Amino acid sequence: MLQVQGVHTFYGRIEALRGVDIDVKEGEIVALIGANGAGKSTLLMTICGSPRAAEGRVVFDGQDITRRPTHEIMRSGIAHAPEGRRIFPRMTVLENLQMGALAAKPEHFNEDMERVFGLFPILKSRQGQRGGTLSGGEQQMLAIARALMSRPRLLLLDEPSLGLAPMIVKHIFQIIRDINRATRATIFLVEQNAFHALKLAHRGYVMVNGKITMAGTGQELLANREVRAAYLEGGH
Amino acid sequence: MAEATVNTSAAPAAATGARAHEPSFVYLVKDALATGAIALALAFPLVGFRTVDRGSTTIIETRFGQMFLGVAVIALGRFAFSLIDAGYARAILAGSGVLSVAWLLLVAVDPGGAAIFPLGWMSWMLVVSVALRAAYVSWGDRSEARGDAVSPGDRVAATVQRLAVFFGPVLLLFAIAMPLLPMADQRWVDLGILVLTYVMLGWGLNVVVGLAGLLDLGYVAFYAVGAYSYAIIAKTFGLNFWEALPMAGGLAAMFGVLLGFPVLRLRGDYLAIVTLGFGEIVRVVLLNWNELSNGPKGIGEIPRPSFFGMPFTPAPPQGVTSFHQWFSAHLWEIGFSPIQRAVYLYYIILLLALLTNIFTLRIRKLPIGRAWEALREDEIACRALGINPTNTKLTAFAIGAMFGGFAGSFFATRQGFISPESFNFIESAIILAIVVLGGMGSQIGVVIASIVLIGGPEWFRDLESYRMLAFGGLMVLIMIWRPQGLLAFREPTILLKPKAGPP
Ligand SMILES: Nc1ncnc2c1ncn2[C@@H]1O[C@H](COP(=O)(O)OP(=O)(O)OP(=O)(O)O)[C@@H](O)[C@H]1O
Ligand SMILES: [Mg+2]
């Protein structure tokens, strides 16, 4: 469904991605783990077209989307929940969801809203509250819910567990699995929390300094000694 | 939570009247003197001397009396303010309250009495501002001690916003009825037109600044483009107001896009600087392009509006019925009076302003309007949601500019004469001040701010040369108490259950 082929991305003269190859198949959950500054967020943003890949191709559903404008990519079935949530703080929960639905047909709005309220009941009870006054976990749920409102076939999640308590992290990962099962949406997930991410994912990639160094099923990577030493030691 | 904070050192102090620490009077006096010294250094060249034209020569006069008076006021004010902050708010409040009331009583007994005081009404305003600050500090501290998250100002603003549902129609009814009220003389109607013009400009700029969050310091450019387009189109092609209006608005919108393109990637301060430059460029071009704009002499004899083709003149040319003749023939007998045209102009600008408002209220609920607001909040998130920032910004500039153009056309037809003089930066600043003071994005806030900022200087007219000073003082006060604007309280555009308001 999504192929990233030999992608290089630059910030000025800094080469953040140095030839990345990724393959995400329909219906999968794929996790990408790596240290800070490895280039994980950059990869997700490059898929969305900003910044643009200097070399290589991004193919979605058999179509080359490398040079398409970002807003068109985001309307072609890809949704991105960016790093740091980035919900609209002065808008209410409901308005945030409405913004997420801009790329979808308006007649789906009520149905989709019921669906995300089913996944995140807390948001239903907070629908009139301003986004900026939600707790961190609620904001993360809102960010995912907002991304879901555009009916994506591919959902890109950037560190959904960022800054959340272990209980909430578990809950969020449970919901991600539910989304994958219920809506058949393909999920490409970037995570620091390697343990949870690899347990959840069908397959995983490890990124070091802008390059993919390892790939395999979630179980394989979890069992791998290098992965354990680099990303899992010191508790999860 | 309240019990937990009692043990910290600040909490008991706050509870016992905010006496945070024992002030050292020596220190406060020194501080006040230092403030006075700085004021003196500034005032000596600025206030101490002034140049007077005496026939062919210019002489320099000294004004040391006024200078020392002003410096003394500043030092005393500083002393009063530091006493307030040092925990003597109540005492200062009592003192300044008594003083200001006594002042008023004195003037009430002898209306000329204000003249005894060196600064006239200004001295009263100064004392009152000290009293207000003292009241604010003593009250503000109390609400903090109670642990209220929402300040009293916010609560008032939220209430006003909610009351706007009733308040708005009342205000509208008043606006409709105003010219027909017995007290409405020429001065009232003219003031009404002026305020409504700025309400319309404020509402137009609100689209750009309030909704889309693009700080535009050159809005007057579109006002100017609208005015000149109307004047030139109407004069060259002999079109009437309603025919030329859409063209002038369209031209202004095109200028909006023209400004929008180069500033697409700019935000905040940089955007403000470029838009400011744009406003100046338009004015300078109008000043110098003699063939088009007639330069500094301006354009005169701009067609005045007519009522369905009937002019507002005492003696119309042969074959033309003027408004008062038609009115006398069909309804009841009236003579000609210049106020008839003023009232008609008043209703035109009321209509245009209402159009702007209705349009903005509607568009906020449409995808494009929501995209504007989202863009103001977070551009990166907007991109991630499939919003095209380029188109979104350009439409905001274009629509804001279009309303500015409409207002400009109205200005031209009302004045009958325009020149680049009328489109200075100060106009942009006033319009922006209206939007900011109203609370960015608040429609009713713009109305209140226009009444205060445009009507205010008129009411302060009795203060004569201190008028602008009083006006500036008022702005400073608003900035102290409501830096986020009078009504910075955003109404959600969508509620599932109509009753479920924001918590
Ligand atoms: N806008 C930018 N301008 C310049 N350099 C950037 C920019 N954004 C990221 N970088 C650099 O690119 C590299 C990769 O950054 P990226 O945000 O993709 O890392 P990451 O893997 O997501 O890290 P983290 O886990 O900390 O979020 C880093 O070295 C970073 O400093
Ligand atoms: Mg990152």
Measured in Å, residue A36 CA sits from the centre of ligand 1 at 8
Calculate mean pLDDT across residues B399-414. Answer: 95
The band of B423, judged by pLDDT with boundaries at 50, 70 and 90, is very high
**Partner-chain residue, chosen from B367, B378, B492, that has the shortest CB–CB distance to A102:** B367
A86/B374 touch (CB, cutoff 8 Å), yes or no: no
Strands B49-54 and B57-62: antiparallel
Atom of ligand 1 nearest to the CA of A34: 21
Window B:290-349, CB contacts with A under 8 Å: none
Atom of ligand 1 nearest to the CA of A42: 18
pLDDT digits (tens, 9 = 90+) for B80-112: 888 888 878 888 888 888 887 887 777 777 766
Calculate mean pLDDT across residues B240-269. Answer: 89
- Which segment of A36-50, A134-148, B168-182, B309-323 scores lowest on mean pLDDT? B309-323
Which residue of A4, A42, A44 sits with most ligand 1 atoms within 8 Å of its CB, as the best mutation to test the pocket? A42
B385, B393, B490, best to mutate vs chain A, most A CBs in 10 Å: B385
pLDDT digits (tens, 9 = 90+) for B476-489: 776 676 666 666 66
Judged against a pLDDT cut of 70, whether residue B19 lies above it is answered with: no
Instruction: Establish if B149 touches chain A: CB-CB under 8 angstroms.
Output: no
Alpha carbon of B491: minimum distance to chain A alpha carbons (Å): 9
**Partner-chain residue, chosen from B380, B381, B492, that has the shortest CB–CB distance to A128:** B492
- Which segment of A14-23, B442-451, B462-471 scores lowest on mean pLDDT? B462-471
Residue A218's contacts (CB-CB under 8 Å, 6 or more residues apart) are: A31, A198, A199, A200, A201, A202, A203, A204
Which ranges of B110-240 would DSSP assign to H, the alpha helix? 121-145, 152-177, 186-205, 220-237
> What pLDDT does residue B414 have?
92
Q: Whose CA is nearest to atom 16 of ligand 1?
A: A39
Rounded to two decimals, the pTM is: 0.74
Q: Whose CA is nearest to atom 30 of ligand 1?
A: A37
Judged against a pLDDT cut of 60, whether residue B142 lies above it is answered with: no
A42, A45, A73, A86, best to mutate vs chain B, most B CBs in 10 Å: A86
Strands A211-217 and A203-208: antiparallel
**3-state SS assignment for residue B16:** coil
Judged against a pLDDT cut of 60, whether residue B172 lies above it is answered with: yes
Contacts of A86 in chain B (CB under 8 A): 378, 380-381, 384
Judged against a pLDDT cut of 50, whether residue A130 lies above it is answered with: yes
Query: DSSP state, B501?
Result: -
Calculate mean pLDDT across residues B280-304. Answer: 90
- Which segment of A202-206, B13-17, B181-185, B196-200 scores lowest on mean pLDDT? B13-17
Q: Which residues line ligand 1 (CB under 6 A)?
A: A 11, 14, 16, 34, 36-42, 83, 192
The band of B134, judged by pLDDT with boundaries at 50, 70 and 90, is confident
What does the alpha-carbon distance between residue B369 and residue B210 come to, in Å, rounded to a whole number? 11
Atom of ligand 1 nearest to the CA of A51: 1
CB-CB contact of A67 with A80 (8 Å): no
**Partner-chain residue, chosen from B377, B494, B500, that has the shortest CB–CB distance to A98:** B494
> What pLDDT does residue B161 have?
66
**Mean pLDDT score of chain B, rounded to an integer?**
80
Domain extent listing, chain B: 161-313+323-328+336-467
- State the DSSP string of B405-462: HHHHHHHHHHHS-B-GGGG-HHHHHHHHHHHHHH-TT-HHHHHHHHIIIIIHHHHGGG
CATH architecture of B161-313+323-328+336-467: Orthogonal Bundle (1.10)
What does the alpha-carbon distance between residue B393 and residue B377 come to, in Å, rounded to a whole number? 13
> What pLDDT does residue B7 have?
39
Q: Whose CA is nearest to atom 31 of ligand 1?
A: A37
State what percent of residues in chain B have pLDDT above 90: 26
**Partner-chain residue, chosen from B373, B388, B501, that has the shortest CB–CB distance to A91:** B373
Measured in Å, residue A36 CA sits from the centre of ligand 2 at 7
| Helix axis angle, B425-438 to B443-450, nearest 10° | 120
Judged against a pLDDT cut of 70, whether residue B151 lies above it is answered with: no
Contacts of B502 in chain A (CB under 8 A): 92, 128-130
Strands A29-34 and A203-208: parallel
CB-CB contact of B375 with B441 (8 Å): no
> What pLDDT does residue B112 have?
65
C-beta contacts of A165-170 below 8 A and 24+ residues apart: A165/A137, A168/A137, A168/A140, A169/A193, A169/A196, A170/A196
Dihedral pair phi/psi, residue A79, rounded to 5°: -125, 145
